[in-house]
Amino acid sequence: MDSITDCYRTEFTARITSVAEDRVVLDRTLFYPLGGGQEPDRGSLCSDSVSAQVTDVRGRDAVDHVVGPDHGFETGDAVEGSIDWERRYAHMRMHTAQHLISGIVYESFDGARTVGNQIHHHRSRIDFRPILFEGEMIEQLVHRVNALIDDGLAVSVDSMTRGQIDALMPPERTNMDLLPSHIDELRVVRIGEDVDICPCAGTHVRDISEIGEVVFLSRKSKGRGTQRFSYTLADLKE
């Protein structure tokens, strides 16, 4: 998604460039593919004669849209795509919450880094290192996160070079040191001025007030110095 506005788009037109037994490739798409710890979009594709549900989306350049066997689409077909908005918006809110939580953990707990995350539409998780959540640390973290959400902060998407990002944030905070060195131009998601600045290709909300209330679910040790923080949003609890 080139902009925050694009994250809110749910319908588009495209043309099929290739077909396989259970999937199709389009010349353009709004479907977010599996990647960056975020689950893929779902939705539907329709031509003049065929309608099918998109159950999975994989790849980056030539994106495969899984529509099931014997789908009936043909190369060259014009199609209309529709995104499952409820699922997409849940991912947008969950992923923006992850950035917010990660930024606050880094600032509050001696530079603990985000070393992994999984964004789902009912519950999500973040792995931090080095950290050991003790005493009231999680209660304080969740309280601060929700206080910031209540106040609201704008979320923006920009294209920035490595040098521009490094001038704003330490490389270990943005995980720049984990990205291939030949990649210089990056899509960056920014919360407020400096609450969080992080290279990311995922979908996000325009303002953190849209996240709603973050609810802590569990804490789990994932090896020496690594802790898994699982969370959901109050209105998305299963």
pLDDT digits 0-9 by tens, 3-17: 899 999 999 999 999
Confidence of residue 99 (pLDDT cuts 50, 70, 90): very high
- Determine the Cα–Cα distance for residues 27 and 15; give it in Å rounded to an integer: 6
**Fold of the CATH domain 10-83:** Elongation Factor Tu (Ef-tu); domain 3 (2.40.30)
**How long is the chain?**
238
What is the rounded average pLDDT for all residues in the chain?
94
Q: What is the pTM of this model?
A: 0.95
Q: Range(s) for CATH 3.30.980.10 in the chain? A: 88-236
Cβ burial 70-85 (10 Å sphere, 16+ → b, else e): ebebeeebebebebbe
pLDDT digits 0-9 by tens, 162-196: 989 888 888 888 877 777 878 888 999 999 988 99
The reported pLDDT for the residue numbered 61 is 81
Task: Let me know: does 71 contact 48? Beta carbons within 8 Å.
Answer: no
Confidence of residue 60 (pLDDT cuts 50, 70, 90): confident
The reported pLDDT for the residue numbered 2 is 77
The mean per-residue pLDDT over the stretch 86-111 comes to: 97
* Pair of tokens at residue 46: 């329709």
| Distance from the Cα of residue 127 to its chain's centroid | 15
Confidence of residue 120 (pLDDT cuts 50, 70, 90): very high
For residue 180, cis peptide bond before it (omega within 30 degrees of 0): no
Cα separations (Å) of 225 from 29, 77, 108, 125, 178?
A: 40, 53, 16, 16, 19
The reported pLDDT for the residue numbered 101 is 98
The reported pLDDT for the residue numbered 176 is 79
Q: Range(s) for CATH 2.40.30.130 in the chain? A: 10-83
- Sole residue written with tokens 């050991």: 132
The reported pLDDT for the residue numbered 194 is 85
pLDDT digits 0-9 by tens, 34-53: 998 999 999 999 999 999 99
pLDDT digits 0-9 by tens, 141-156: 999 999 999 999 999 9
CATH of domain 88-236: 3.30.980.10
The mean per-residue pLDDT over the stretch 72-82 comes to: 97
- Determine the Cα–Cα distance for residues 90 and 47; give it in Å rounded to an integer: 28
Closest CA to 197 of 219, 165, 221: 165
DSSP three-state, residue 48: coil
